[in-house]
Amino acid sequence: MKSTKKVSNVSDLTSRDRNSIWHHISPYNVKNPPMVVEEGKGSWITDAQGNRYLDGMSGLWCVNVGYGREELALAAYEQIKKLAYAPMTMSHEPAIELAEKVNEMLDDDYMIFYSNSGSDANEVAFKMARQYHRQNGEVDRHKFISRYRAYHGSSMGALSATGQSMRKYKYEPLIQGFLHVSPPDNYRKPDSITEEDYNLQRAEELENTIIWEQKETIAAVIMEPVITGGGVLIPHPIYVEKVQEICHRHGVLLIIDEVICGFGRTGKKFGHQHFGIKPDIVTMAKGLTSAYLPLSITAVRKDIYETFKNGDDTSHFRHVNTFGGNPAACALALKNIEIMEHENLYERSAESGDKLLQGLDDLKNHPFVGNLRGIGMIVGIELVEDKTTKEPASKERLAKIISDCKDNGLIIGKNGDTVAGYNNILTLSPPLSSSEEDVEFMIAVLQKVFSENQS
Ligand code: PMP
């Protein structure tokens, strides 16, 4: 997809970028300046030189309906003309309609709290959980349990819940009271036990942590239905059901982080709907607006909300943010959900994801592919140096495949946790709206690149 178009201002843009932008989580690599992106349409983006790439990561797992949707631009435009802003101490129709719509999708009765980002939504969940227990007389319930390898955001609370130490250690001390347990990693389970037993053991580790830490001190467990950025770790359903049962039995709230898994990414409206559970709190962002505008939600079970309503001035939730529930973002989110429904994107995500996995199945025979896994439009390709020892593949091997894919017009990701040694999982998370040709293109590029990288 390389273009020969000569754009005179590209190097100028790059040097101006270098002088003024501190990029997110990127090494200061002088040889490899960040791509200056100019346009996006469908699953494809175009850089300032005119090179086109299929965005196999939908940005940061978020542009679920693809780029360039005029209806979304119009929805925001019309709303800004009518009412550009109202704080969430007031109300407006797009926020009300969106709250009702999200409840319909959750198939239950939740109260909707608006914020701006996934990290925000998780911070809100933590504060609500602590206050909830406190006003129920369980004043010691302040600790949270999450899983190693999971990512829950970059602000101090969400980072404390995150289980990837490479992202954390330079910013310590973080917030007290965040504990971590191992997630199920079915590829790396011991051969001697079944997947079901292994997943039950991981749930048992969680229960032991609750008990050993004193259950009266645990406020909530937070987890993604499927660990995404931590390396695409898909649990056996028995694990998720068991975690819910353990939480209920010990009076611990279950917060499900749907920031990536929500809005069709896993082939259902929400990832937890694969497991038939009813979370106490659900957090969502990214796919809610397909990232066209910032917006996030913390959805809280109504009976939890009721305990904040006893009429006493000290019982309300003392949290506000300026931009949460912005009218244009809400109007755009409603249109985004309408597009998903109209184009059957939840079902298409499941079908296209299956096609991707089937098309990539041969890669399992490749000498460095230890495991191929996926759910909906999420694929993880775990690279190893040795299939028997499962030693994670070298950084250089991953970098070469990513760069060769890019040279062939496909952007893919790399995820995992460097400190844990498992930063060896290549990821795909393309727009749910990707066409059949797009899916075939991704398969063809990966097949070609892997066949050219046999040693
Ligand atoms: N939770 C999960 C599971 C995420 O993947 C992310 C972001 N990648 C977040 C929370 C934080 O979202 P944000 O970057 O919008 O703060």
Kindly give the distance from the C-alpha atom of residue 302 to the centroid of ligand 1, in angstroms, as a whole number.
24
Contact 406, 53 (CB under 8 A): yes
Number of Cβ within a 10 Å radius of residue 103: 16
Give the length of the chain. 455
CA distance 210 to 221: 10
Contact 431, 63 (CB under 8 A): yes
Together in a domain, 41 and 158: no
DSSP 184: P
Domain end, chosen from 313, 342, 371, is at: 342
pLDDT at 241: 98
Q: What is the CATH number of the domain that holds 189?
A: 3.40.640.10
Domain end, chosen from 342, 368, 400, is at: 342
* Residue-by-residue pLDDT tens, the chain, 455 positions: 555 554 557 888 988 998 899 999 887 766 778 899 999 999 999 999 999 999 999 999 999 999 999 999 999 999 999 999 999 999 999 999 999 999 999 988 899 999 999 999 999 999 999 999 999 999 999 999 999 999 999 999 999 999 999 899 999 999 999 999 999 999 999 999 999 999 999 999 999 999 999 999 999 999 999 999 999 999 999 999 999 999 999 999 999 999 999 999 999 999 999 999 999 999 999 999 999 999 999 999 999 999 998 767 778 899 999 999 999 999 999 999 999 999 999 999 999 999 999 999 999 999 999 999 999 999 999 999 999 999 999 999 999 999 999 999 999 999 877 777 778 999 999 999 999 999 999 999 999 999 999 98
pTM of this prediction? Answer: 0.97
Domain end, chosen from 317, 342, 367, is at: 342
Contact 371, 262 (CB under 8 A): no
Number of Cβ within a 10 Å radius of residue 65: 28
Task: Answer whether 261 contacts ligand 1 (Cβ < 6 A).
Answer: no
For residue 275, CA distances in Å to 266, 287, 302 come to 12, 20, 21
Best residue among 61, 151, 321 to mutate for probing ligand 1, ranked by most atoms within 8 Å of CB: 151
Task: Answer whether 259 contacts ligand 1 (Cβ < 6 A).
Answer: yes
pLDDT at 259: 98
- For residue 371, give its domain range: 10-65+344-451
Together in a domain, 76 and 61: no
pLDDT at 3: 58
Query: Of 239, 234, 242, nearest to 271 (Cα)?
Result: 234
Query: Of 53, 39, 41, 57, nearest to 265 (Cα)?
Result: 57
Q: With a cut of 0.95, is the ipTM above it?
A: yes
Number of Cβ within a 10 Å radius of residue 175: 14
Give Cβ neighbours of residue 323 (< 8 Å, ≥ 6 apart): 116, 294, 329
Together in a domain, 190 and 328: yes
For residue 32, CA distances in Å to 11, 18, 27, 119 come to 12, 11, 10, 29
Q: What is the CATH number of the domain that holds 392?
A: 3.90.1150.10
Kindly give the distance from the C-alpha atom of residue 151 to the centroid of ligand 1, in angstroms, as a whole number.
7
